[in-house]
């Protein structure tokens, strides 16, 4: 087999790999991208980020969820949605996003190779088992961005088509009436919310004592209350001891408390594992850690300096947004762009539950643990005319300022458009700004952005009056 030479060979065509390949072409580099699947996009576009968020919006639209609160009437289709209706928009959105990335990469001159990649040595990638198999690619630099896959416990009978992981949930033949979600992480909580909006009876099961414990505790509690009000039955500090698929009518799940749940569908969302098992990393002198993760430094270099790794293969936060930024940093460092080679220390997190949640920076708990004195400012959607217009009665914005100089240290939002609203605070934090900037900023009226002024004024008032918003 002839060997083709490149400045960069990227393994994995998800958000991180595609972004890295495209970025390298901006430096005039010759790039090959190897993708195992026939379609680009990885989990971000095909099975995770884009599909789950699209399905959330579809559920809200098909069921008239927002109109129930806003107008006090049911404006849904007044019939059961079919599984085809549920997935139609999701398929269209992810197809369009795949096509956009494919066109962008091809226009930039990236050579896309389909097949399974494995390392022959530290510079050579062999492609097999695919439409473009039996190719050998040599790269001055390599970028590993193969993503992750759902963890599948051998104790759970995945051979039964009523039990699925977070990839297989997109292949449902009918919508569940009674759904058990095992794992109350971000993926589990998002799907639990979506199917509850479709009027399924949903059980969300997790062994931990708190829902999404990385969130600010006040926000996490508000989310739990909202989800339970919407019908999600949250069972924390519970372990699944047995999953019985012997009955044709239902799957029986026995919990550690002794409770037995009878459901028609089970979604297992119990974490993800890095997709590195087939890469033969040892041939390049690389080893992996727990969950097959690859260790990297701040530039996303592995222990072999010309090999970089980004995205889910390097571990948390394992988000499409951060993975693309990691790829930018890695490629900049690989090709000597010292201006671009640092990743921001301030990264947002968005959770597409119902209601949405987003955060950036510190929480009350992390500031208290660090001994940082701070002041809190809150503003509810129901105190804002735009919030009233859209009918969100539970959302709120919570800002955390340093008590001494009023720098913005943390932003927490729950409610409609939370993942958009958080960006205002994110930019303020990137500029090392705080209460003075937000207080002086003129926001359109009526908008949810105006919540920042209300929350900031309350924080300043609390400081002046020594009220309960100030925390030592």
Residue 450 belongs to domain with CATH number: 3.30.390.30
Same domain, 10 and 127: yes
Q: Mean of the pLDDT values across residues 354-370?
A: 97
Q: What backbone torsions phi and psi does residue 66 show, to the nearest 5 degrees?
A: -70, -35
Percent of the chain having pLDDT more than 90?
76
Q: Do 322 and 409 have their domain in common? A: no
Instruction: Print burial letters for 239-257: b (CB count within 10 Å at least 16), e (below 16).
Output: ebeebebeeeeebebebee
On whether both 181 and 207 belong to a single domain, the answer is yes
In a domain, 324, yes or no: yes
**Strand ranges (E), 120-271:** 124-128, 135-144, 148-150, 163-165, 178-182, 201-206, 232-236, 240-244, 251-255, 260-263, 265-268
Residues 207 and 58 in one domain: no
Within this chain, do residues 228 and 125 fall inside the same structural domain, yes or no?
no
pLDDT tier at 134, thresholds 50, 70, 90 = confident
State the residue range of the domain holding 238.
163-270
Shared domain for 359 and 287, answered yes or no, is no
Does 232 fall in a domain? yes
The domain boundary residue, chosen from 238, 270, 302: 270
pTM to 2 decimal places: 0.92
Residue 301 tokens, joined: 């270099």
DSSP string, 427-444: HHHHTT-BHHHHHH----
- The count of structural domains within the chain is 3
Closest among 63, 109, 378, 81 to 230, alpha carbons compared: 63
Is 156 a domain residue?
Answer: no
141 and 279 in a single domain? The answer is yes
Question: 138: which 2 tokens?
Answer: 């040599």
Start-end of H helices in 276-376: 320-334, 364-370
Is pLDDT above 90 for 1? no
Tell me if 252 sits within 8 A of 216, measured CB to CB: no
Does the residue 421 lie in any domain? yes
Judgement on whether residues 66 and 181 belong to the same structural domain of the protein: no
pLDDT for position 206:
97
- Across 44-53, 112-121, 372-381, least confident range: 44-53
Q: pLDDT band at residue 43, thresholds of 50, 70 and 90?
A: confident
For residue 283, the domain's CATH number is: 3.50.50.60
pLDDT at 469: 59
For 397, the enclosing helix (H) or strand (E) is: strand 396-402
Q: Please indicate, yes or no, whether residues 299 and 220 belong to a single structural domain of this protein.
A: no
In a shared domain, residues 52 and 12: yes
Instruction: Tell me whether residue 455 is in a domain.
Output: yes
Q: Look at residues 220, 249, 270 and tell me which one is the last residue of a structural domain.
A: 270
User: Per the structure block, which two tokens stand in for 219?
Assistant: 């926000």
Last residue of a domain, one of 249, 270, 291: 270
The answer to whether residues 310 and 201 belong to one domain is: no
Positive or negative, the Cα torsion across 58, 62, 65, 67? positive
Among the ranges given (59-68, 283-292, 421-430), the one the predictor scored with the smallest mean pLDDT? 59-68
Shared domain for 40 and 110, answered yes or no, is: yes
- Supply the mean pLDDT for the chain: 92
Position 181 scores a pLDDT of 98
Quote the pLDDT of residue 384: 96
């Amino acid at each position: 087999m002839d060997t083709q030479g490149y400045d960069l060979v990227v393994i994995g065509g998800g958000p991180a790999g595609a972004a890295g390949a495209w970025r390298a072409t901006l430096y005039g580099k010759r790039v090959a991208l190897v993708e195992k699947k026939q379609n680009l996009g990885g989990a971000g576009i095909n099975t995770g980020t884009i599909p789950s968020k699209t399905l959330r919006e579809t559920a809200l639209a098909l069921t008239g969820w927002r109109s129930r609160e806003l107008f006090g009437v049911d404006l849904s289709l007044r019939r059961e949605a079919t599984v085809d209706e549920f997935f139609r928009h999701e398929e269209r959105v992810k197809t369009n996003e795949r096509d956009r990335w494919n066109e962008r990469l091809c226009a930039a001159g990236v050579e896309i190779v389909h097949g399974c990649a494995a390392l022959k040595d530290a510079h050579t990638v062999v492609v097999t088992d695919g439409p473009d198999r039996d190719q050998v690619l040599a790269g001055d630099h390599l970028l590993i961005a193969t993503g992750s896959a759902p963890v599948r416990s051998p104790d759970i009978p995945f051979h039964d088509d009523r039990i699925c992981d977070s990839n297989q949930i997109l292949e449902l033949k009918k919508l569940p009436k009674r759904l058990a979600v095992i794992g109350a992480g971000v993926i589990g909580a998002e799907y639990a919310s979506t199917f509850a909006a479709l009027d399924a009876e949903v059980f969300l099961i997790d062994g931990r004592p708190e829902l999404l414990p990385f969130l600010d505790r006040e926000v996490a509690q508000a989310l739990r209350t909202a989800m339970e009000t919407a019908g999600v039955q949250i069972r924390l500090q519970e372990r699944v001891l047995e999953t019985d698929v012997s009955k044709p009518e239902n799957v029986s799940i026995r919990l550690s408390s002794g409770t037995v749940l009878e459901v028609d569908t089970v979604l297992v969302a119990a974490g993800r594992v890095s997709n590195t098992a087939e890469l033969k990393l040892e041939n390049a002198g690389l080893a992996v850690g727990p969950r097959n993760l690859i260790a990297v430094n701040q530039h996303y270099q592995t222990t072999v300096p010309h090999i970089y790794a980004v995205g889910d293969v390097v571990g948390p936060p394992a988000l499409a947004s951060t993975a693309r930024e990691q790829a930018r940093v890695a490629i900049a460092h690989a090709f000597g762009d010292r201006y671009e080679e640092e990743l921001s220390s301030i990264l947002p997190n968005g959770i597409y539950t119902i209601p949405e949640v987003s955060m950036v920076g510190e929480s009350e708990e992390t500031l208290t643990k660090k001994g940082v004195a701070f002041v809190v400012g809150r503003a509810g959607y129901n105190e804002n005319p735009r919030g009233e217009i859209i009918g969100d009665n539970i959302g709120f914005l919570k800002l955390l300022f340093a008590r001494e100089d009023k720098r913005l240290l943390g932003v927490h939002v729950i409610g409609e458009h939370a993942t958009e609203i958080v960006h205002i605070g994110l930019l303020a934090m990137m500029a090392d700004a705080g209460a003075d900037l937000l207080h002086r900023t003129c926001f359109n009226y009526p908008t949810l952005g105006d919540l920042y002024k209300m929350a900031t004024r309350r924080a300043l008032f609390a400081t002046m009056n020594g009220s309960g918003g100030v925390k030592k």
